[in-house]
Chains A and B, each alone.
Chain A
Amino acid sequence: MAAPKKGRNAGAQSKPWRSLALILIAIVGLTAGMFASGQTTPRLGIDLAGGTSITLRAEPEAGQESAINKTNMDTAVSIMERRVNGLGVSEAEVQTQGDRNIIVNIPKGTNSKQAREQVGTTAKLYFRPVIAREAGGAAPTPEASSSPSAGSGKAEDTKEKDGKKDESSSPSPSATSQGRAVTDGLKADASPSPKASESKGSGDGDGGGKGDASDPQNSKLQAEYAALDCTKPDQRTTAGKGAKPDEATVACGQDSQGQWQKYLLGPAEVDGTDVDDAQAVYDTQAGTGWKVTLGFTDKGSKKFASITGKLAQQQSPQNEFAIVLDGNVVSNPYVTQSLSSNAEISGNFTQESAKNLANVLSYGALPLTFKEDSVTTVTAALGGEQLRAGLIAGAIGLALVVAYLLIYYRGLSFIAIASLLVSAALTYLIMSLLGPAIGFALNLPAVCGAIVAIGITADSFIVYFERVRDEIREGRSLRPSVERAWPRARRTILVSDFVSFLAAAVLFAVTVGKVQGFAFTLGLTTLLDVVVVFLFTKPLLTLMARRKFFASGHKWSGLDPKALGAKPPLRRTRRPAGPVETKEA
Chain B
Amino acid sequence: MSKLGTLGARLHHGEVGYDFVKNRKIWYGISILITITAIVGLAVRGLHMGIEFQGGAVFSTPKNMSVSVAQAEEYAEEASGHDAIVQKLGDGSLRIQVAGIDTKASDTIKEQLSEDLKVESEQINAELVGPSWGEQIANKAWQGLGIFLVLVVIYLAIAFEWRMAFAAFVALIHDITITVGVYALVGFEVTPGTVIGLLTILGYSLYDTVVVFDSLKEQTKDITKQTRWTYSEIANRSINSTLVRSINTTVVALLPVAGLLFIGGGVLGAGMLNDISLSLFVGLAAGAYSSIFIATPLVADLKERDPAMKALKKRVLAKRAQGKSAPEPEPVGSGGLGGGTQDAAPAVVGPRNQPASRSRGRGRPSGKRR
Contacts and interface: CB of A to CB of B under 8 A. Distances in A.
Contact of B256 (A398, A576, A577): A398
Contact of A515 (B144, B193, B207): B144
Given A73-B130, A462-B248, A462-B252, A512 B273 contact: no
Contacts of A470: 12, 241
B128 interface: yes
Interface string A358-402: 000000000000000000111111110111011011111110110
A518 B5 contact: no
A459 B252 contact: yes
A381 B144 CA distance: 28
19 contacts: A47-B272, A50-B87, A379-B69, A381-B87, A383-B70, A389-B268, A448-B200, A448-B276, A455-B256, A462-B245, A463-B245, A466-B8, A466-B248, A492-B215, A510-B143, A514-B137, A518-B196, A522-B199, A563-B5
A185 interface: no
A333 interface: no
Interface in B70-104: 70, 73, 85-91, 95
Contacts of B25: none
A512 B136 contact: yes
B251 interface: yes
A454 B136 contact: no
Interface string B1-26: 11011101110111000000000000
Contact of B276 (A444, A497, A566): A444
Closest 3 CB pairs of A and B: A455-B253, A397-B259, A565-B9
Given A379-B88, A383-B70, A515-B195, A510 B144 contact: yes
A389 B264 contact: yes
B340 interface: no
Interface stretch (A95-103, A140-148, A188-196): A95-103
A548 interface: no
Given A469-B8, A492-B211, A394 B260 contact: yes
Contact of A567 (B13, B95, B134): B13
A515 B8 contact: no
Contacts of A95: 55, 129-132
A407 B86 CA distance: 44
Interface residues of B, number: 108
B90 A511 contact: no
A405 B95 CA distance: 45
Contacts of B147: 506, 510
Interface centre among B251, B256, B268, B269 (most CB of A within 10 A): B256
B64 interface: no
B258 interface: yes
B3 to A, nearest CB: 10
Contacts of B91: 376
A378 B93 CA distance: 9
Contacts of A407: 2
A583 interface: yes
B22 to A, nearest CB: 18
Interface string B202-240: 111011101100110011111101101100001000000
Contact of A496 (B4, B85, B131, B214): B214
B34 to A, nearest CB: 22
A57 interface: no
Interface in B1-58: 1-2, 4-6, 8-10, 12-14, 55, 58
Contact of A386 (B13, B215, B253, B270): B270
A577 B148 contact: no
Interface centre among A73, A383, A488 (most CB of B within 10 A): A383
Contacts of B143: 510-511
Contacts of A546: none
Contacts of A376: 89-91
Contacts of B250: 455
A372 to B, nearest CB: 15
A267 interface: no
A458 B252 contact: yes
Contacts of A459: 207, 211, 245, 249, 252-253
Contact of A400 (B2, B136, B137, B259): B259
A253 interface: no
Contacts of A512: 136-137, 140
Nearest to A577: B222
Contacts of A382: 272
Given A448-B280, A451-B260, A458-B252, A576 B211 contact: no
B172 to A, nearest CB: 11
Interface stretch (B151-159, B178-186, B318-326): B151-159
B155 A499 contact: yes
A232 interface: no
Interface string B140-172: 110111011001100110010000000000000
A513 interface: yes
Given A47-B272, A396-B263, A400-B259, A496 B280 contact: no
A393 B256 CA distance: 8
B306 interface: no
Interface in B101-143: 127-137, 140-141, 143
B361 interface: no
A445 B193 contact: yes
A458 B228 CA distance: 35
Interface string A460-490: 0011001001100100000000000000100
A565 B244 CA distance: 14
B213 to A, nearest CB: 9
B73 A383 contact: yes
Interface residues of A, number: 97
Contacts of A509: 144
A96 B133 contact: no
Interface string A214-227: 00000000000000
B257 interface: yes
Contacts of B263: 392-393, 396-397
Contact of A500 (B2, B144, B203, B262): B203
A74 B139 CA distance: 14
B311 interface: no
Contact of A390 (B1, B192, B260): B260
A174 B300 CA distance: 80
A44 to B, nearest CB: 14
Given A462-B248, A572-B329, 5 more contacts: A73-B130, A95-B130, A390-B270, A401-B255, A448-B277
B134 A449 contact: no
Contact of B252 (A96, A401, A488): A401
Interface string A85-115: 0000000011111100101000000000000
Contact of A377 (B9, B89, B140, B248): B89
B5 A564 contact: yes
A93 B97 CA distance: 14
A577 B88 CA distance: 65
A8 interface: no
Given A397-B258, A452-B284, A514-B133, A500 B253 contact: no
A574 B331 CA distance: 9
Given A492-B211, A563-B6, A451 B134 contact: no
A35 interface: no
Contacts of A500: 203, 206-207
Interface string B324-346: 00000100100000000000000
A576 B323 CA distance: 18
Contacts of B200: 448-449, 452, 518, 522
Given A563-B6, A583-B218, A496 B210 contact: yes
Contacts of A503: 148, 152, 199, 202-203, 206
B273 A97 contact: no
A515 B146 CA distance: 14
A583 B219 CA distance: 11
Interface in A387-438: 387, 389-390, 392-398, 400-401, 404-405, 407-408
B271 interface: yes
